[in-house]
Chain A
């Protein structure tokens, strides 16, 4: 009787302590998750920003300007084009 009580008591104590530990771990993981989520959002934003920047650098108006004024290119004309057609 006495031994059984002691066993149960120690079991109870172990359970209680592990509950505390588990809760602590859950909170830590949760904080890590939060951080990861914030980072995900941030990275998403960065991606959108880079996509926008890339788009800004590749927009028709800029390409036309760079091609004409910096690279001194001229528009293609059919007179100077050889058309290739895939044989079936």
Chain B
């Protein structure tokens, strides 16, 4: 008998078909292959998805805030600045429904809204809602201390304007998103606004930043902007205009002060104004930057240019005498003067502001083209290029369309229009010996060459004539300024009401000072003065006087007129010219 081993018993020998083991092998191999492919996929092409998931858990993108640039005046004083403020946000799904009543009350009082309003806001469907924006940091701190779950604080900026009303029209303001809406804030938005940056950081389990992966975009703070405006002079001008508007029960007023040497705008004042820090209940009247955006007929303030054109042509001189009479008929309507005159010299036509005189100079000595060239050369009919939103062009119709009566009336300022700013600019030709100065609102305190419009001789003759306007016998004795010789021209224009001229007036005064070496050009407008006189010489000239004397003093300009000495070291009041007697020469310590 064949011995049978323990492990080789024939009973245990199974004759299984071969395919079963093959199948098994294949299945195992197949599943492993699937796993391999999957592993390959995760490592290779499909990796980005998992990587992103991982990054999302540990990395955050944080915004790097950028601040808006400051606006400074010519002396570096802040006139607009951004301070941090907080916005209060409610995450309504996190705020508990059974919030303690006293906490709600406290929060409402801190936010200065009613309790009912607050409750309504907290019940709204939206996930998150601004409860209040631009909250003061101190109040925000108190809100934080209430420790209400679901009430969060966000950083933002709020714009502050220390000069308030006086500077409102120059600076303008920004909206709640910190975007410029008016004035310089709007026109220089690009430079002032910063660009927020972004950075990527690694956070730990508790959300604390532990590592910076990289800065994706550097924040760019807005650039500071320095204007040519002097906040002191601006305040002087604003105050003078404001009190004149109130005294004469006028509708509005405005004033421009220009530096004739550098072409810088020193002040642009408008009244009524508004407080840019609190812009509730604003109306269009308050917002209007009249000095630049209101067009009016310049009236008599244009006469010096008519006369200049004729002087320049050499057909008249300041002493040429013209017969005036009580009326002058050109076209259908006769031209008249307020006070009839027999005959006047050219200088007297300016001094007494004779409409007939100006019209006769135009009709007898000038062609429409020559007049048009003069007005156009001094800037009428062209928008001033100072980058201010809404600056008007004015109208100066082509001379080919003028009929005789147009030509005569344009000569004394009717039938063309411009802004007060354009008038102030035009007067720089008398200050600068015949050159028109390019203007700027950016600080640039160096002398600027201008474009020659008239000869130096004509400009000097005009200066003398303009000074006589403010001397006894002239239309604006009230324009005289303490200590300074001034020259200028009054204007009283009928306002266009509908299609004709009503009984509403605009009173102007435009002039330069000090006459011996002009430094500033000032134009003042008072709109619809009522109650008493409406003449430029009575209403606008005193404003000019105040602005000129205070501005020149601020600019440290030496007085050039003789004044009565009130207190002298050696006693006694003497009438001495300041330039020689009161100026003592001292040796510098340097």
Which residue of chain A lies nearest to B209 when distances are taken between CB atoms in the complex? A34
Mask, B72-99, CB within 8 Å of A = 1, is 0000011001111000000000000000
Mask, A26-41, CB within 8 Å of B = 1, is 1100110010000000
B212 in the interface (beta carbon within 8 A):
yes
The answer to whether B588 and A86 touch across the interface, beta carbons within 8 angstroms, is: yes
A47 to chain B, nearest CB (A): 11
A62 to chain B, nearest CB (A): 10
Question: How far is B235's CA from A55's CA once the two chains are assembled, in angstroms?
Answer: 14
Question: How far is B77's CA from A7's CA once the two chains are assembled, in angstroms?
Answer: 70
Chain A residues in 8 Å Cβ range of B566:
77, 79-80
B161 to chain A, nearest CB (A): 10
A6 in the interface (beta carbon within 8 A):
no
The answer to whether B83 and A49 touch across the interface, beta carbons within 8 angstroms, is: yes
The answer to whether A30 and B212 touch across the interface, beta carbons within 8 angstroms, is: yes
A7 to chain B, nearest CB (A): 33
User: A47-86: which residues lie under 8 A (CB-CB) from chain B?
Assistant: 48-49, 51-52, 55-56, 58-61, 64, 75-86
A8 in the interface (beta carbon within 8 A):
no
Which residue of chain B lies nearest to A83 when distances are taken between CB atoms in the complex? B583
Chain A residues in 8 Å Cβ range of B587:
86-87
B443 to chain A, nearest CB (A): 17
The answer to whether A78 and B585 touch across the interface, beta carbons within 8 angstroms, is: no
Question: How far is B578's CA from A18's CA once the two chains are assembled, in angstroms?
Answer: 83
B160 in the interface (beta carbon within 8 A):
yes
The answer to whether B584 and A59 touch across the interface, beta carbons within 8 angstroms, is: no
The answer to whether A83 and B482 touch across the interface, beta carbons within 8 angstroms, is: no
Contacting residue for A52 out of B160, B231, B484, CB 8 A: B160
A45 in the interface (beta carbon within 8 A):
yes
Mask, B226-247, CB within 8 Å of A = 1, is 0000011001100100000000
Question: How far is B81's CA from A49's CA once the two chains are assembled, in angstroms?
Answer: 9
User: Binding site of A, secondary structure by majority: helix, strand, loop or mixed?
Assistant: helix
Question: How far is B321's CA from A68's CA once the two chains are assembled, in angstroms?
Answer: 51
Q: Which of B168-176, B188-196, B431-439, B556-564 forms part of the interface with chain A?
A: B556-564
Chain A residues in 8 Å Cβ range of B324:
none
Contacting residue for B166 out of A34, A60, A76, A80, CB 8 A: A60
User: B147-164: which residues lie under 8 A (CB-CB) from chain A?
Assistant: 160, 162-164
Which residue of chain A lies nearest to B233 when distances are taken between CB atoms in the complex? A60
The answer to whether A60 and B235 touch across the interface, beta carbons within 8 angstroms, is: yes
Which residue of chain B lies nearest to A45 when distances are taken between CB atoms in the complex? B84
B139 to chain A, nearest CB (A): 15
A9 to chain B, nearest CB (A): 30
B553 in the interface (beta carbon within 8 A):
yes
The answer to whether A48 and B559 touch across the interface, beta carbons within 8 angstroms, is: no
Chain B residues in 8 Å Cβ range of A87:
585-588
The answer to whether A45 and B231 touch across the interface, beta carbons within 8 angstroms, is: no
Chain B residues in 8 Å Cβ range of A56:
162
Contacting residue for B82 out of A26, A27, A48, A86, CB 8 A: A48
Chain A residues in 8 Å Cβ range of B166:
60-61
> Count of A residues near B, CB < 8 Å?
30
Chain B residues in 8 Å Cβ range of A59:
162-164, 231, 235
Question: How far is B82's CA from A87's CA once the two chains are assembled, in angstroms?
Answer: 45
B273 to chain A, nearest CB (A): 12
Chain B residues in 8 Å Cβ range of A77:
482-483, 566
Chain A residues in 8 Å Cβ range of B582:
81-83
The answer to whether B586 and A52 touch across the interface, beta carbons within 8 angstroms, is: no
Question: How far is B92's CA from A70's CA once the two chains are assembled, in angstroms?
Answer: 53
B412 to chain A, nearest CB (A): 35
Question: How far is B211's CA from A26's CA once the two chains are assembled, in angstroms?
Answer: 8
The answer to whether A52 and B83 touch across the interface, beta carbons within 8 angstroms, is: yes
The answer to whether B553 and A76 touch across the interface, beta carbons within 8 angstroms, is: yes
Contacting residue for B559 out of A27, A30, A61, A78, CB 8 A: A78
Question: How far is B587's CA from A86's CA once the two chains are assembled, in angstroms?
Answer: 6
The answer to whether B83 and A48 touch across the interface, beta carbons within 8 angstroms, is: yes
Which residue of chain B lies nearest to A84 when distances are taken between CB atoms in the complex? B586
The answer to whether A30 and B162 touch across the interface, beta carbons within 8 angstroms, is: no
B565 in the interface (beta carbon within 8 A):
yes
A55 to chain B, nearest CB (A): 4
Given A60-B166, A76-B553: A55 touches B83 (CB 8 Å cut-off): no
The answer to whether A55 and B78 touch across the interface, beta carbons within 8 angstroms, is: yes
B567 in the interface (beta carbon within 8 A):
yes
Chain B residues in 8 Å Cβ range of A81:
483, 559, 582
Chain A residues in 8 Å Cβ range of B569:
82
The answer to whether B231 and A60 touch across the interface, beta carbons within 8 angstroms, is: yes
Contacting residue for A79 out of B82, B84, B163, B563, CB 8 A: B563
Chain B residues in 8 Å Cβ range of A86:
585-588
The answer to whether B578 and A52 touch across the interface, beta carbons within 8 angstroms, is: no
Which residue, of A27, A77, A78, has the highest number of chain B Cβ atoms within 10 A?
A78
The answer to whether A78 and B563 touch across the interface, beta carbons within 8 angstroms, is: yes
Question: How far is B232's CA from A8's CA once the two chains are assembled, in angstroms?
Answer: 78
Chain B residues in 8 Å Cβ range of A75:
550
A60 to chain B, nearest CB (A): 4
Which residue of chain B lies nearest to A61 when distances are taken between CB atoms in the complex? B235
Question: How far is B77's CA from A34's CA once the two chains are assembled, in angstroms?
Answer: 32
B315 in the interface (beta carbon within 8 A):
no
The answer to whether B558 and A85 touch across the interface, beta carbons within 8 angstroms, is: yes
Contacting residue for B78 out of A27, A31, A51, A84, CB 8 A: A51
B210 in the interface (beta carbon within 8 A):
yes
The answer to whether B578 and A83 touch across the interface, beta carbons within 8 angstroms, is: yes
Which residue of chain B lies nearest to A59 when distances are taken between CB atoms in the complex? B162
A27 to chain B, nearest CB (A): 5
A-B contact pairs, 5 of them (CB 8 A): A30-B211, A52-B78, A77-B482, A83-B583, A86-B586
Q: 7 extra interchain contacts, Cβ-Cβ under 8 A, other than A30-B211, A83-B559? A: A49-B83, A59-B235, A77-B483, A79-B563, A81-B483, A82-B584, A84-B584
